[in-house]
Amino acid sequence: MPRQQAQQTVDDHQQSGGGPASCAATKLGRPAHKPKKLPPFKVLLHNDDVNTFEHVIQSIVSLTTLTPQEAVLRAIEAHEAGLALLLMTHRERAELYTEQFTTFGITTTIEPAEG
Burial environment of residue 56 by CB neighbours within 10 A (0 to 12, 13 to 18, 19 or more): buried
Looking at residue 35, its pLDDT comes to 79
Looking at residue 28, its pLDDT comes to 66
Looking at residue 33, its pLDDT comes to 76
Looking at residue 56, its pLDDT comes to 98
Instruction: Give the integer Cα–Cα distance in Å for 106 and 93.
Output: 17
Looking at residue 53, its pLDDT comes to 96
Q: Are 94 and 79 in contact (CB under 8 A)?
A: no
Dihedrals phi, psi of 3, to nearest 5 degrees: -55, -45
Catalogue all structural domains in the chain, each as residue range(s) with its CATH number: 1-34 (no CATH), 40-112 (3.30.1390.10)
Instruction: Give the pLDDT means over successive 10-residue stretches in the chain (115 positions).
Output: 54 52 58 81 96 97 98 98 97 98 98 86
Q: Give the three-state DSSP class for 98.
A: helix
Looking at residue 71, its pLDDT comes to 98
